[in-house]
Amino acid sequence: ISLDKLPVRALDAIEENGVERYPHELSYDEKRVSLIRRIDFAWALWQWQSMVENLQLAHQELSVIIDLINTVEANDAVTVAGMTRPKPLPNEVLSDLAVSAATKLQCYRHLGKYFKQSAKALEQQIAREARFYGALIRLQQNWKVKRQRSNEGFTIDLFDNSLYDSARPSSLSVIHIEHDSAGMLAINLPSNSCHSLHFGFLGDSQKESMSDDESVKETHLLLREVHQSIFNDQVFDMVNREAFNQSAGVNVTGIRENYLQLSIGQGTSLFISLVPSSKPNRISCEIYLQQIVHEHAFIKGKDRGSGLLGHFSLSLAHRIFSNRVLMKLENVVCRVPYLHLMTHPTWHSRTSSWTIFMKVPQSILHVEKSQFRTKVVVNDDRINVEGEGAPNVVGLFKRSSEDICSVNKYDCDLADLPVIILQQVASQVIRWLHEEALMVGIKTNRDFLCLTFELEQGETVSLVAHVDPEDIQGCISWWLVMEDGEDWKLQMDRKFLGHLSLDVLYSTLMDLVSLCG
């Protein structure tokens, strides 16, 4: 019987640098002798013990007879006649052959039964080994598998010191691989040994039998969770170190085991903690914190880890502030039916951008300008508004169309943002109406929120916009104002038109054009 070892068993050890060492290869004769020595024939030989004892007794009796014959031959007084062995009868010869054949057959049967049992046990052992080493080979493709120097099993090394030079080694860096009685590869971890990052603002069941593929997949998943737990420990350790350095806008307000409480920005508090991974809270802040740790640790080289917590805190403060800005913009847009809001990706954690579109209806004369845009950009906690079609102060005094139709850029705070957006939109509507009046040949005067028509005898009629962010009916309302400038006395007559759509505003413009004509 010749048995070949599995290829994986030929690997003796793997060095730290990945070099594989193999044991000395045995010759075919050495392998055969080694396998024969493993066979135990003791149980089959005990039945021959009685025969051996009978042969020993017969040998003793034969020795006595030979001694007697020698004594008789040495005595001259005793005459010994010639003795010849009697010729055996045919039936006696056949009987001896039958007994010898039956005895040998019985021995062969016992020996065959032993080999059959040994082969079955050996087949089961080979199946268990193949199952274990097959799973081990599949794990070795993705994980660093090491054989213990004492040749008592295998371990998986999960420690990665490339994240941080002084990172504390985790107790889970070395995972021991166990081999159960069924040949299945098993990894047992203590309870609450894996952690995951938990971020927020202040204010054991029986398993069913699995196939080999399912078992390997579950082992992969478990190893990934352990690997992620080690990374989360290192992230928390790095943030903990950074928190006690001088970081802009960050103050430590509480600390205990696996828990860190910080204060950032204006009155905003948060905490970062390590919790058992059985109840994770995977939100975007956790992902972003891990992402910037990865960026600072692996990409920036020598400067890795510097300013990590400050950058994360400013990014988080910006996210909170940008959400408030977005709420203000949505409140304005939802109350003005001809406005549309679009969010633009900035690919920067501390910059947000939106654009408010106003699409004007197509007139009979097809004015080229069909839509107006107002862009809002937030950098950290600074708001910048950039709008087209609104006159600036210099343009109003110069009466220059180039200056009047230029793009305005200005900063504002969160409280004034709705009023500024509404004024910007209302001025764009005034510009559109002004262009429409010029297209039909009517001269008008344009102010920031007012379009004025000249009538006879010095009288004027103006279409004036009024903005109110708290007005739930439309935020932008319109008034018709008539002024009489005779005798240096100004008399005004105002009429409320209501919250008009762009189509109704265009019709009103055409009525005023007819009145002026």
Q: Are residues 285 and 433 in the same domain?
A: no
Which is more confidently placed, 45 or 281?
45
97 found inside a domain: no
Residue 233 has pLDDT above 70, yes or no: yes
Q: What average pLDDT does this structure show over 445-459?
A: 83
Distance separating alpha carbons of residues 391 and 401, to the nearest angstrom: 9
Instruction: Say which amino acid occupies 213.
Output: D
In a domain, 492, yes or no: yes
Q: Check pLDDT > 50 for residue 35.
A: yes
Reading the block at residue 103, the tokens are 């005895």
Do 310 and 326 fall into the same domain? no
The total number of structural domains that make up the chain: 2
**Domain-ending residue, one of 269, 294, 315:** 315
The pLDDT of residue 420: 92
When mean pLDDT is compared over 251-260, 305-314, 330-339, 411-420, the highest value belongs to: 411-420
Please name the residues in contact with 63: beta carbons below 8 A apart, sequence gap of 6 or more. none
Residue 487 predicted with pLDDT over 60? no
Please, where are the H alpha helices in 38-89? 42-45, 49-74
- Determine the Cα–Cα distance for residues 424 and 386; give it in Å rounded to an integer: 9
**What pLDDT is attached to residue 492?**
73
Domain identity same for 304 and 446:
no
Is residue 137 one of the residues assigned to a domain?
Answer: no
List of E strands, 232-298: 250-256, 259-264, 268-276
Strand partners, 198: 273, 281
Phi, psi of 290 (to 5 degrees): -65, -35
pLDDT, position 226: 76
User: Which pLDDT score is estimated for 397?
Assistant: 47
- 385-430 pLDDT, tens per residue? 998 776 554 444 445 444 455 678 889 999 999 999 999 999 999 9
φ/ψ of residue 81, rounded to 5: -75, 160
CB-count exposure of residue 194 (10 Å: 0-12, 13-18, 19+): buried
Q: Residue 151: what pLDDT?
A: 66
Alpha carbon separation from 249 to 246, 312, 318 (Å, rounded): 9, 11, 12
Q: In the structure, what pLDDT confidence band is assigned to residue 300 with cuts at 50, 70 and 90?
A: low
- Give yes or no: residues 339 and 457 share one domain: yes
pLDDT band at 4 (very low <50, low <70, confident <90, very high): low
| Identity at 192, one-letter amino acid code | N
Contacts 24+ apart (CB under 8 A), 277-282: 277/194, 277/195, 277/196, 277/225, 277/228, 277/229, 280/196, 280/198, 281/198, 281/199, 281/200, 282/196
Q: Give the pLDDT of residue 88.
A: 72
For 20, residues 6+ apart whose C-beta sits below 8 A from its C-beta are 11, 13, 14
| pLDDT tens per residue across span 135-177 | 888 888 878 888 877 667 888 887 766 655 555 566 667 788 8
Q: Is 19 helix (H, G, I), strand (E, B) or coil?
A: coil
- Co-location of 509 and 368 in the same domain: yes
In the structure, what pLDDT confidence band is assigned to residue 442 with cuts at 50, 70 and 90? confident
pLDDT at 393: 47
Q: What are the structure tokens assigned to 136, written together?
A: 């081990």
Q: Sheet of 460-467: strands edge to edge?
A: 444-446, 450-454, 460-467, 476-484, 491-498
Residue 298 sits in the same domain as residue 409:
no
Q: Rounded CA gap, 481 and 493, in Å?
A: 6
Q: What is the pTM (predicted TM-score) of this model?
A: 0.52
What confidence tier does 203 reach under pLDDT thresholds 50, 70, 90? low
- Residue 341 included in any domain: yes
Q: For residues 256 and 296, state if they share a domain.
A: yes
Highest-scoring range by mean pLDDT, 31-45, 326-340, 353-367, 449-463 = 326-340
DSSP letter assigned to residue 303: G
* C-alpha R_g of the chain: 49
Q: Is residue 1 part of a domain?
A: no
Can you tell me the distance from the alpha carbon of 326 to that of 313, in angstroms, rounded to the nearest whole number?
Answer: 20
Same domain assignment for residues 330 and 230: no
For residue 388, the cross-strand partners are: 407
Among 280, 295, 315, which residue terminates a domain? 315
Same domain, 226 and 238: yes
Per-residue model confidence (pLDDT) at position 92: 73
Q: How confident is the model at residue 464 (pLDDT cuts 50, 70, 90)?
A: very high
- 361 lies in the same domain as 494: yes
Does residue 120 lie within any of the structural domains? no
Confidence of residue 478 (pLDDT cuts 50, 70, 90): very high
Q: What SS3 string covers 179-236? A: ECCCCCEECCCCCCCCEEEEEEECCCCCCCCCCHHHHHHHHHHHHHHHHHHHHHHHHH
pLDDT digits (tens, 9 = 90+) for 351-393: 999 999 888 887 655 556 678 899 999 998 899 999 877 655 4
Q: What angle do CA 488, 394, 450 make, to 5 degrees?
A: 55
Q: Of the ranges 34-43, 304-313, 463-472, 481-490, which is most confident?
A: 463-472
Q: State the average pLDDT over residues 271-280.
A: 71
Asked whether residue 150 is assigned to any structural domain, the reply reads no
**CA dist list (Å): 205 to 18, 184, 208, 224, 280:** 39, 19, 10, 21, 19
Residue 205's pLDDT band (boundaries 50, 70, 90)?
A: low
- Give yes or no for a contact between 495 and 479, defined as CB atoms under 8 angstroms apart: yes
- Residue 40 domain-assigned (yes or no): no
Q: Which domain holds residue 414?
A: 319-395+402-515
Same domain, 336 and 406: yes
Domain boundary among 282, 300, 315: 315
- 484 and 446 assigned to the same domain: yes
Mean pLDDT value across the chain: 78
Report pLDDT for 352. 92
Determine the pLDDT at residue 28.
83
Give the three-class secondary structure for 314.
helix
Q: What is the pLDDT of residues 322-354, one digit of tens each?
A: 889 988 998 888 888 888 888 888 888 889 999
- Report which listed range, 13-27, 180-194, 465-479, is most confident: 465-479
Give me the pLDDT at residue 426, please. Answer: 92
